[in-house]
A = this chain, B = another copy of it.
Amino acid sequence: MNNNSYCVVKMKKGLNQICYKFFSCLSNPTRLAAIEKLIQKPMSVNEIANALGEEQSMISHNLKPLLECNLITSNRHGKKRIYSLNTETMEALFKIVKNHAKKYCPKGGKCLIKED
Contact = CB atoms under 8 A, between A and B. Distances in A.
Interface residues of A, number: 58
Interface string A18-33: 1111111011110011
A28 B27 CA distance: 10
Contacts of A96: 89, 92-93, 96
A55 to B, nearest CB: 15
A57 interface: no
Nearest to A96: B92
B113 A5 contact: yes
5 contacts: A5-B112, A5-B113, A16-B32, A19-B94, A92-B96
